Structure 1
Amino acid sequence: MANLNWEGIYPAVLTPFDEQYNIDFAMFAKNTEAQIEAGVHGIILAGSLGEASALSQEEKFLLLEKALEIVNGRIPVILNLTENTTKDAVEFAQKAEKLGADGLMVLPPMRYRADDREVVAFFKAIAQSSSLPILVYNNPIDYATYINLDMMEELLEEPTIQAVKESTRDLANITRLKNRFGDRLKILGGVDTICLESLMLGADGLVAGLVDAYPKETMALYNLAKAGEYEKAVELYRWFMPLLELDIHPKLIQYIKLAATYEGICTPFTRAPRLPLVGEEKERIEKLIEDAIAQRPQLTDYNYATI
């Protein structure tokens, strides 16, 4: 198993499809290699950006097996868990461990608005069912469940619960978490449009979206922030921001797949009910991507290779 310390850049990777909407494993391999070449610290499979809602459980495990083959121990491979019942979640975690996953990202129950006690019990049952390290996904904006500090205190009683994907969009929460838990909890920023601020406030890394299309730029931004080169980081961030805003739209999958297609490391196809972009929207997103490419900074200007 690859070393997993919950620090650095973890792409929530795309799931490329071919024109028949089957998983395009050749393109998946190409994107994965681009991520590894840029220096990412791990990948997360079948997350929101990976179209978890459009994948069967069988496909998720097949994706895990293929990813493990491609990665071959170079970086950790983390599988997202989005099951609706505790029984299914426990079985999913156990199978992921058996197949060789290095860790899990776990969402609260998706189709039932559980209360705090139920959410904690759900996460604890998963943690107690396998030895895989767990990243708790805290995203009350999109998934209605807020995991507060007291809930997190209970969750940290489980040694395998080690990190949180912080997607509350409240930057103050990073400081609250640091003040309460210190080094007991690793924090990964989960919102692209506040990724630099998250790092500057002490986040240990990022679960990133636009990294799927721009791995080198994302790594440069991370390396500059970690090196305290904030002036250069802000300059790069300002170029990046129009693209990063694609991550916070309901059509983030169509948008980011299109950006990655421009880079030659994805296909644009999404499974229904997501439909292809058309008309004014398609033209607008294409222009945004093309404008960014036209103004693309030379990473050598940011000493990317030496940081």
Structure 2
Amino acid sequence: MNVSVLWEGVYPALLTPFTADDELDIPLFEKNLHAQLEAGIHGFIIGGSLGEASTLLNEEKISLLQSALAVCQDKVPVLVNIAEQGTKQAIARAHEAQANGADGLMLLPPMRYPADARETVTFFKSVAQETTLPIMIYNNPYDYKIMTTVAMFEELAELPNIQAVKESTRDLTNITRMRNAFGNRFKLMGGVDTLALEALLLGCDGWVGGLVDAFPQETMAVYDLTKAGQLAEALEIYRWFMPLLELDIHPKLVQYIKLAAQATGIGSEYVRAPRLPLIGAERAQVEQIIQEALAKRPLINAA
């Protein structure tokens, strides 16, 4: 039985931990899940950009899904990311995710091909029509070079299972455009760590986070305080957090955030080739950011 996806709160875009032998590190994956659940997160996303989706085998994605479902035990929804080059492949991945118990999907536009508006809308509709799972469209023209515009969402609104948007345009005014156009037809999830508080203040329902993989309590504190209107308290943590959050908007965000998760004891730095672990001055710089943040880590009231 699927868990309802409310599209509210904090949804970590999960890292995929590997062993030194390049196998999935399921025990470490589950350790991270437990840390997230203890902090109070609201859902999980498997196999996103941070999860090194492009390097995962299909059976590995299913293994991660099954592990997450076993840990969550219907406490929170588990979503699978769909990021494929072709429509047939995307539909196949959606079928597999649904068959293996996923509660919802995050759906990217076609990979590698710069589809135009008609092609992109047709791609999204073709996948959505092949599943009953609720879907969040990932709108990230900065990284994926395809903008899903208000006009395109007007067409997508015809499909009831397209329910939410991961808002990663890096244009905060787009949040207001979407609200003005659709009201609450689409749930909006802020998808850029360095704009998370601003996105929440402008009306986003939740936050798809990256640094939450290393700092779940601090992420939840920013979210909870902002939603409670305790803006001064939220801003204090957010300002402390910002040097770490900036690790999420770098091309090597996977290596950077994995290093942070290793430093907090809920991850490891192992990545899958062609990525390589950080070395030299770059590694020292990222470690310095992490250690300076840890030295001043705020005391979060768990209550």
Q: Same fold (TM over 0.5)?
A: yes
Alignment of 1:131-146 (within 5 A): 131-146=132-147
Instruction: Give the equivalent residue in structure 2 for 1:66.
Output: 67
Helix, strand or coil at the partner of 2:184: helix
Helix, strand or coil at the partner of 2:183: helix
- Equivalent residues, number: 302
Instruction: Give the equivalent residue in structure 2 for 1:170.
Output: 171
Instruction: Give the equivalent residue in structure 2 for 1:247.
Output: 248
Instruction: Give the equivalent residue in structure 2 for 1:92.
Output: 93
**How far 1:248 sits from its partner (Å)?**
0.1
* 1:149 and 2:157 aligned: no
Instruction: Give the equivalent residue in structure 1 for 2:125.
Output: 124
Cα distance in 1 between the residues matched to 2:263 and 2:30: 17
Moved over 3 A (4+): none
Helix, strand or coil at the partner of 1:129: coil
Instruction: Give the equivalent residue in structure 2 for 1:49.
Output: 50
Cα distance in 2 between the residues matched to 1:33 and 1:206: 19
Helix, strand or coil at the partner of 2:89: helix
Cα distance in 1 between the residues matched to 2:299 and 2:157: 43
**How far 1:70 sits from its partner (Å)?**
1.6
Instruction: Give the equivalent residue in structure 1 for 2:41.
Output: 40
Helix, strand or coil at the partner of 1:236: helix
Cα distance in 1 between the residues matched to 2:188 and 2:96: 26
TM-score by length of 1: 0.97
Helix, strand or coil at the partner of 2:188: strand
1:136 partner amino acid: I
Instruction: Give the equivalent residue in structure 2 for 1:226.
Output: 227
Instruction: Give the equivalent residue in structure 2 for 1:277.
Output: 278
**How far 1:235 sits from its partner (Å)?**
0.8
**How far 1:3 sits from its partner (Å)?**
2.1
Instruction: Give the equivalent residue in structure 2 for 1:102.
Output: 103
Cα distance in 1 between the residues matched to 2:167 and 2:94: 21
Instruction: Give the equivalent residue in structure 2 for 1:190.
Output: 191
2:76 partner amino acid: I
Aligned residues with identical type, % of pairs: 58
Cα distance in 2 between the residues matched to 1:265 and 1:229: 29
1:61-114 CA deviation, whole Å, 9 max, x = no partner? Answer: 121112111211111000000111111111111111111100000000002111
- 100-109 or 50-59, which moves further after superposition? 50-59
2:137 partner amino acid: V
TM-score by length of 2: 0.98
Helix, strand or coil at the partner of 1:16: coil
**How far 1:264 sits from its partner (Å)?**
0.8
Cα distance in 2 between the residues matched to 1:21 and 1:90: 28
1:151-174 CA deviation, whole Å, 9 max, x = no partner? Answer: 011111000000000000000000
* 1:9 and 2:41 aligned: no
Helix, strand or coil at the partner of 1:273: coil
**How far 1:298 sits from its partner (Å)?**
1.0
Cα distance in 1 between the residues matched to 2:30 and 2:101: 18
Cα distance in 2 between the residues matched to 1:276 and 1:32: 23
Cα distance in 1 between the residues matched to 2:92 and 2:255: 31
**How far 1:283 sits from its partner (Å)?**
0.7
Helix, strand or coil at the partner of 2:155: helix
1:23-62 CA deviation, whole Å, 9 max, x = no partner? Answer: 1000000000000110000000000000001111221112
Helix, strand or coil at the partner of 1:35: helix
Segments of structure 2 that go 5 or more residues without pairing to the other structure are none
Cα distance in 1 between the residues matched to 2:260 and 2:29: 15
Aligned Cα root-mean-square deviation (Å): 0.7
Instruction: Give the equivalent residue in structure 2 for 1:75.
Output: 76
**How far 1:120 sits from its partner (Å)?**
0.3
1:243 partner amino acid: L
Cα distance in 1 between the residues matched to 2:3 and 2:36: 16
Instruction: Give the equivalent residue in structure 2 for 1:256.
Output: 257
* 1:31 and 2:38 aligned: no
Cα distance in 2 between the residues matched to 1:110 and 1:75: 29
Cα distance in 1 between the residues matched to 2:140 and 2:67: 28
Cα distance in 2 between the residues matched to 1:232 and 1:67: 32
Cα distance in 1 between the residues matched to 2:238 and 2:13: 19
Cα distance in 1 between the residues matched to 2:203 and 2:21: 44
Cα distance in 1 between the residues matched to 2:3 and 2:273: 35
* 1:113 and 2:107 aligned: no
